[in-house]
Structure 1
Amino acid sequence: MEVIASSTTLWHSLAFSHLRLADKLTELSAQLESGYVRGINHAEDSALVKAYSIGGITAATAFVETNINEMFESICNDRGSITNDFSEETIAEIKKWWEFNRKKMIPAVQKYQKFLQLSNNEKFSSQDELFNDMEKLVYLRNQLTHYKPQWILAATQSEREEFALNKDIQKHLEQKIKPSKFFENTNAPYYPSKLLGYGGTHWALHTAFHFSQEFYHRIDIKPPYAHILKYCSQIEINSKG
C-alpha cells in the first residue's frame, strides 16, 4: 500500500496479492502431489488439490486483469515516475482512451493490446504462443467460475469428455498441462478432474507471469511487482517454455 499526498489518500495494488496467492497455491498443490502414493486412499488430498488449483487459476488470471487496470490508472492519476517513461502525447492518448473505456467490459488481453498500440509498441501477434495461452487461461477461468455440472452417461472416454471444454482448447491444454497425480491413472475426465492439480495451477501461474513480463519488456518498463518476486517460490523467471 502506498500513501500519496496525504495520510487519507491511499493507493493499494491488488495485482501483487493475486500474484502471491497464485504462487502460494501452486506451492501447496506441489506439496500435496509430491506425497501421492498409488494404491492409498487420497480422497481428502485429491479434493484439496482441486480446490488449490481452482484458486490458483483464478488468482493467476486476476493478476493479469488487475495488473493492466492498475497500469492505466497509474497513468491517469500521474502516479509516481511511471509517466516519465512516456511522451506527453502518449500519456494524453492513454488517458483519453481509458477515461472513455474504464467502465466497459473489455477483455484483459485486449487492454494489453490497446496499451501497446497507444504507447507505440509492438502488439502481440495472434500467432504468439503466450498470447494464445493467455486467452485460453481466461477461458478456463471463466469455465470454472461459471461451471455447470452435467450427468455423464457415456461408455467411452471420448464420450465422457464430449460435454466438457471446447474440443480444440482442451486438446491444447492437454499438451500443456500434466494431469493431476491423483487422477492420471483413472477413468476420470480430463476436465475438470485431471486438469485441476499442480500441473494446471503451475501452467496458469507460468502463463500469467510470462505474459505480463513480455508486456513490460515491450514497453521497456520495470514491472511494478518486481520487488515481490523474491517471495515467490514457484515462479520461473527465466523460463517461457
Structure 2
Amino acid sequence: MDKIPLEMIGEESAIRFRDCFSVRYIQSAAVLCRLGYGIEKTRAASGPLPQDLLLQHEAFILNSVLSTVSFLESTVNELYADAADDAYFFADEEHEVLLRTIGEKWHNEKNFDRAPLISKYQKILPIAGKPPFEDGDQAYENVRSLIEIRNHLMHYKREWVVIRDRGAAGDCDETTAQKFEKTLRKKFATNPFAQKNLPFFPDKCLGHGCAEWAIVNSVIFTDEFFRRLGLPVPYEGVRDELATR
C-alpha cells in the first residue's frame, strides 16, 4: 500500500494518512523500464525505428533512472519523518525504540537533512547501532554510481565531448563521459540505438540495461539497509510490480 492509515480525528471522523512516495517512485521506475525494454525488443524485431519511438525510448529510460534515485531519496527521508513524528506502525516495542532513537539522534546531527543522499543511509545505520556499508560492497558502489549519474543529469553543465580511440594519446582532461565509462561500461548492456561513434555517456549508457541495473541494485541496497535495521521494507506489497522487462 502506498498510503498508511494513521488515525481518525474530529467529530466527523476525518482520516489522516501518510503517503509513501518512495513506493510510487520505484513503481514508476519499473513501469518506465519495461516500456523502454519493449521498444528495444521492437527494434530487434523490425529494424530501424522512427524518430518518435526513439524519443519515447529516451524519455522512458531517462525518467526511469531519475525515478529510481527519487525512490532512494524518499525512502530514507520517509524513514526519518516517521521516526521524527512518532508515526510508528509496528506493534513491536523494539521497533518503536529503534525509530525513536533514529529520530532523536538524527535531529541532533548538525545539517543532517542536508547531507548527501548516500551519507544519510550510512549515518542512520551507526545511529541505530548497526554496521554501515563498506567500500567495495557491490550494491552500495552501484548505488553511489547511480546517484552520480542523477546528480550529473539534474545539475548538468555543458562540456566538450572528446571522441578518440581509447588508446590514443592526448593531453585533454578526462571528461565526465570518460569517467562514467570507466566505472560503468561492463555493468550492463549498452543502449542499442546509440551510434558507434558517440561517447559512452550519455548515449550508450542510457538504455534499458542501465535502467534495469539501477532498479535491481537500488532494491538490493534498500533490502539490505532495512534488514540491518530489522525493519520491514515499505515496498514489500508491490514487489511483484517491480519487474524490469
**Normalising TM by the smaller chain, what interval?**
0.7 to 0.9
Please tell me the residue identity of whatever aligns with 1:209: V
Please tell me the residue identity of whatever aligns with 2:186: Q
1:100–1:206 CA distance, 2 compared to 1 (3 A): same
1:98–1:36 CA distance, 2 compared to 1 (3 A): same
1:27–1:87 CA distance, 2 compared to 1 (3 A): closer
Runs of 5+ consecutive residues of structure 1 not aligned to the other structure: 236-241
- 2:20 aligned to which of 9, 13, 16: 13
TM-score w.r.t. length of structure 1: 0.84
- Say if 2:90 and 2:96, in contact at 8 Å, map to a contact too: no
1:21–1:42 CA distance, 2 compared to 1 (3 A): same
TM-score w.r.t. length of structure 2: 0.83
Matches within 5 A, 1:177-192: 177-183=188-194, 186-192=196-202
- Say if 1:178 and 1:199, in contact at 8 Å, map to a contact too: yes
Moved more, 99-108 or 213-222: 99-108
Tell me which residue corresponds to 1:141: 150
1:168-207, CA deviations, whole angstroms, 9 ceiling, x for partnerless residues? x421211112111111x52111111111110111111112
Tell me which residue corresponds to 1:239: none
- 2:123 aligned to which of 111, 114, 119: 114
Q: Higher relative CO (CA 8 A, sep ≥ 6), structure 1 or 2?
A: 1
- Say if 1:50 and 1:193, in contact at 8 Å, map to a contact too: no
**1:86, CA displacement in angstroms?**
3.4
1:57–1:232 CA distance, 2 compared to 1 (3 A): same
Matches within 5 A, 1:48-59: 48-59=56-67
Find the aligned partners of 2:178 and 2:93 in 1 and give their Cα distance.
44
Tell me which residue corresponds to 2:175: 163
Tell me which residue corresponds to 1:229: 239
Matches within 5 A, 1:1-241: 1-6=3-8, 7=14, 9-37=16-44, 40-78=48-86, 79-81=88-90, 84-86=93-95, 88=97, 90-101=98-109, 104-152=113-161, 156-158=164-166, 162-165=174-177, 167=179, 169-183=180-194, 186-234=196-244
Find the aligned partners of 2:54 and 2:173 in 1 and give their Cα distance.
20
Percentage identity across paired residues of the two chains: 22
Find the aligned partners of 1:221 and 1:207 in 2 and give their Cα distance.
19
Q: Report which of the two structures shows the higher radius of gyration computed on alpha carbons.
A: 2
**1:73, CA displacement in angstroms?**
1.7
**1:148, CA displacement in angstroms?**
2.6
Find the aligned partners of 2:145 and 2:163 in 1 and give their Cα distance.
28
